[in-house]
Amino acid sequence: MPFAWVLGVGLVLAIIAGARVTRPGDATPVSTRMLGRVALIMGLAIATVIAIDRALN
């Protein structure tokens, strides 16, 4: 199931990026934080698109 695989990978990457962004006491550069937020948003967007696609089929 490619859709389930993409969903799982996207969610795992989003969780990892979110954990890196929200880790307390971390002095990460702004670019790293922005990349983490972009990855989190992309993971949620992929999950939403797949959920809509499965609901319509």
DSSP secondary structure of 4-57 = HHHHHHHHHHHHHHHHHHH-TT----HHHHHHHHHHHHHHHHHHHHHHHHHHH-
Q: How far apart are CA 48 and CA 57, in angstroms?
A: 14
Q: What is the mean pLDDT of the chain?
A: 72
Report whether 39 contacts 11 (CB < 8 A).
Answer: no
Average pLDDT over residues 33-51: 79
Q: Is the pLDDT of residue 18 over 80?
A: no
Q: What percent of the chain has pLDDT over 90?
A: 0
Stated pTM of the model: 0.44
- State the pLDDT at residue 51: 84
